[in-house]
């Protein structure tokens, strides 16, 4: 379905902002017929729009469509600089069409209409859902309102994970839009962290950046920054300002040329098959002998069952920002280009769909 949408150029009309849409608009978009010249439309879509299209389309996207990595894999030499910058933009502007519905058990004064929103993959639920809250507060009695929280098919959604990670982990192979249920009562404090203000999100975000730099540079770069520089990183994320953010973030992506990469790669591997929330350990981008470590090397060390042995069928998908990068992709390149704004490489290992 998404390929058809891409062909029809439908997603080109989305400017990428998080304004709400009415149900009828979305219904109209989802049912639109391909135009007379679908092949031309598909070719003329930018990489950014392709990434934004998500599930079915991106499941098949090899990383080379995003530019850069294929040449890097094949020759081991430097990638195309212009393509690499495009990758940063594609990652930043990735969006997930979402439908918010109020929990049926919550008492309302009149019927609650669902609310549609394009969620930024790299942001956090509680940061971008003020409009969702306003929308539903119109129909709920003030007495019944406690801290808002979100749930997908019975699973409370952890606001402190980037939105794209939550989607890839829980809903990646499902039909768009992503259907999230909104709650205002019975906050599950055994599962979710509280988030009473944006300063909590900021503290969490900055804490991740600090931790990532502890791994990459022994905290030297982040400690050399001033308070206003830290603020710039946060404001860039909060206000969706790519240039403002990267003006500062590029410092966190530098490394001494003789080292060949960061000291350790900040990463987390998520899965839903066990209780453990994620795997995070020390891993170098380059071996002591000078070999470049790949995504495959990382998984073999940290999550060997994610990679099938020769002859075995593939049981898991390894997903970053909604795509499955080639296992030969150098980890250092992934860390520099596919990290989230918090400077961590968030990797989801999900079972291959059975249908």
Contact region for another protein (CB under 8 A) — 38-46, 175-183, 207-215, 311-319? 207-215
Provide the pairing of β-strand 95-102 with 178-183. parallel
Shortest spacing between CB 297 and another protein, in angstroms: 18
Strand partners, 318: 349
Cα–Cα distance for residue pair 305/83, rounded to 1 Å: 32
Cα–Cα distance for residue pair 249/146, rounded to 1 Å: 36
Kindly determine how many residues on this chain lie close enough to bind another protein according to the rule CB under 8 A: 31
**Nearest CA-CA partner of 339 in 262, 238, 226:** 262
Q: Is 207 helix (H, G, I), strand (E, B) or coil?
A: helix
Closer to another protein by Cβ: residue 14 or 278: 278
* Contact with another protein (CB under 8 A) among 103, 219, 238, 244: 219
- Asked if omega into 65 is within 30° of 0 (cis), the reply is no
Question: In which residue are the tokens 């002859």 written?
Answer: 311
Closer to another protein by Cβ: residue 143 or 275: 275
Shortest spacing between CB 81 and another protein, in angstroms: 30
Cα–Cα distance for residue pair 221/97, rounded to 1 Å: 36
Provide the pairing of β-strand 278-279 with 316-319. unpaired
Closer to another protein by Cβ: residue 245 or 267: 267
Strand partners, 95: 120
Closer to another protein by Cβ: residue 242 or 278: 278
Shortest spacing between CB 214 and another protein, in angstroms: 5
Cα–Cα distance for residue pair 139/135, rounded to 1 Å: 8
Cα–Cα distance for residue pair 2/123, rounded to 1 Å: 23
What secondary structure letter does DSSP report for 190?
A: T
Print the binding letters for residues 260-299 with another protein: x by CB under 8 A, - otherwise. ------x-------xxxxx-xxx-----------------
Closer to another protein by Cβ: residue 25 or 199: 199
Q: Is 240 helix (H, G, I), strand (E, B) or coil?
A: coil
Contact region for another protein (CB under 8 A) — 84-92, 198-206, 240-248, 328-336? 198-206
* Binding of residue 147 to another protein (CB under 8 A): no
* Binding of residue 224 to another protein (CB under 8 A): no
* Binding of residue 226 to another protein (CB under 8 A): no
Closer to another protein by Cβ: residue 153 or 191: 191
> In the complex, which residues of this chain contact another protein (CB under 8 A)?
158, 160, 189-194, 196-197, 199-200, 203-204, 206-207, 210-211, 214-215, 218-219, 266, 274-278, 280-282
């Amino acid at each position: 379905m998404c390929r058809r949408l891409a062909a029809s150029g439908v997603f080109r009309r989305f400017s990428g902002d998080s304004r709400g849409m009415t149900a009828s608009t979305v219904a109209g978009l989802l049912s639109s017929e391909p135009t007379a010249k679908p092949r031309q439309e598909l070719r003329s879509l930018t990489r950014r729009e392709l990434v934004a299209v998500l599930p079915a389309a991106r499941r098949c996207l090899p990383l080379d469509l995003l530019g850069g990595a294929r040449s890097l894999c094949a020759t081991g030499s430097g990638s195309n600089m212009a393509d690499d910058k495009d990758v940063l933009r594609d990652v930043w502007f990735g969006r997930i069409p979402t439908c918010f519905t109020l929990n049926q058990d919550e008492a309302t004064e009149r019927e609650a209409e669902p609310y549609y929103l394009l969620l930024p993959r790299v942001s956090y639920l509680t940061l971008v859902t003020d409009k969702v809250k306003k929308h539903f507060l119109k129909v709920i009695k003030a007495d019944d309102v406690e801290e808002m929280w979100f749930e997908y098919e019975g699973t409370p959604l952890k606001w402190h994970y980037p939105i794209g990670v939550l989607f890839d982990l829980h809903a990646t192979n499902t039909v768009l839009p992503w259907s999230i249920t909104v709650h205002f009562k019975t906050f599950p404090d055994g599962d979710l962290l509280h988030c009473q203000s944006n300063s909590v999100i900021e503290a969490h975000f900055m804490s991740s950046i600090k931790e990532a730099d502890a791994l990459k540079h022994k905290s030297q770069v982040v400690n050399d920054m001033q308070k206003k520089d830290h603020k710039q990183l946060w404001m860039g994320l909060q206000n969706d300002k790519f240039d403002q953010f990267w003006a500062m973030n590029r410092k966190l992506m530098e490394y001494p040329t003789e080292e060949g990469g960061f000291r350790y790669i900040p990463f987390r591997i998520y899965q839903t098959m066990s209780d453990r929330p994620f795997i995070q350990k020390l891993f170098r981008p380059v071996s002591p002998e000078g070999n470049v470590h790949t995504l495959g090397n990382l998984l073999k060390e940290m999550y060997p069952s994610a990679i099938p042995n020769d002859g075995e069928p593939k049981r898991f998908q390894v997903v970053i920002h909604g795509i499955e990068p080639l296992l030969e992709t150098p980890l250092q390149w992934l860390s520099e280009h596919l990290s989230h704004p918090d400077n961590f490489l968030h990797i989801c290992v999900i079972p291959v769909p059975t249908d």
